[in-house]
Amino acid sequence: MATPQAREEALLTVRKVTLRFGGLTSLSEVDLSLYRGEIRSVIGPNGAGKTSLFNCLTGVYTPQEGTIEFITADGTPTQLVSGPPRRRRSRKPHVVNRAGIARTFQNIRLFAALSAFENVKIAAETRQRTGPIGAMLRLPHARANERRSDARTRELLDFVGLRQVADELASSLPYGVQRRLEIARALATDPALLLLDEPAAGTNPTEKRQLEGLIRRINTDLGVTVLLIEHDMKLVMSVADRVTVLNFGRVIAEGRPEEVQRDPVVVEAYLGSTEEKP
């Protein structure tokens, strides 16, 4: 039996997940085993179901069929979808986040009217236990929690290289910087698994290189497992340990980046689309 230290310990296991919107099947019997400590990329043409998969993992959508199991920090297997067939429920997004899964969005979702610092601090505070009354009365434990959140926020802004823009409004920051800020915010909830939905979209070559380094450091320095949706094949090929390919909601290939890139089934899927070739 595998020990918890085993290299290939599953952190997330998706089995036969099917998601339908009326007559449209956006995910079809998707299987995915994600190992603790890996960087996995999910690629596929537009509309392949990549974001839908993230939405099933984070409680935004409830798939009609299949199971999703996540191992929480204390080692407990947790079912993220449960209930009898007609009353299936996904765990709510904030519950999934507390369990140890954080995400960024394909379309950036920052609090535009708050500073970079405040955007991260709000997320850091969800890790503290001060209730609204404690916070209002500024009880000693509330002040201690606030100091911890401030320190964690500064640490994370440093980590993503954004300390110098801490006081700027999120909406005033360049696009690539906003993407990194969103990553800092996700990290502030101390996830074991980070889901990144096209973090390189709209970024310039310098920002892409910074992002590449950042994803590696998140993985090695923070020990966070990463699931990365990305169309930029150069980035995928350089950071991913393994790649899973979706096409029309189905997994059509999985393997090391160089294997997947050569796979005729994958090449065919991309030739039939307008996407960059893998």
Ligand X SMILES: Nc1ncnc2c1ncn2[C@@H]1O[C@H](COP(=O)(O)OP(=O)(O)OP(=O)(O)O)[C@@H](O)[C@H]1O
CB of 275 to Mg ion, least distance (A): 12
Choosing from 13, 33, 64, 106, the residue that interacts with ligand X (CB under 6 A) is 106
Choosing from 37, 47, 93, 255, the residue that interacts with ligand X (CB under 6 A) is 47
Q: Does 44 bind ligand X (CB under 6 A)?
A: yes
The residues in 43-62 that bind Mg ion, with binding defined as CB under 5 A, are 50-51
Choosing from 3, 46, 107, 206, the residue that interacts with ligand X (CB under 6 A) is 46
For residue 121, the partner it binds in ligand X, Mg ion, none, with Cβ less than 5 to 8 A by kind, is: none
Q: From start to end of the chain, where are the E strands? A: 10-21, 24-35, 39-43, 65-71, 77-79, 81-82, 89-90, 101-103, 193-197, 225-229, 242-247, 250-255
Choosing from 28, 41, 51, 145, the residue that interacts with ligand X (CB under 6 A) is 51
**Alpha-carbon distances, residue 277 vs 45, 97, 98, 208, 272 (angstroms):** 9, 34, 37, 18, 10
Q: Does 161 bind ligand X (CB under 6 A)?
A: no
CB of 113 to Mg ion, least distance (A): 26
| DSSP line for 67-96 | EEEEE-TTS-EEESEES-GGG-EEPPHHHH
Residue 176 · residue 203 · CB < 8 Å: yes
Residue 36 · residue 7 · CB < 8 Å: no
Task: Give the binding range for ligand X (CB under 6 A) out of 19-27, 146-154, 175-183, 202-210.
Answer: 19-27
Binding site for ligand X (CB under 6 A): 21, 24, 26, 44, 46-52, 106
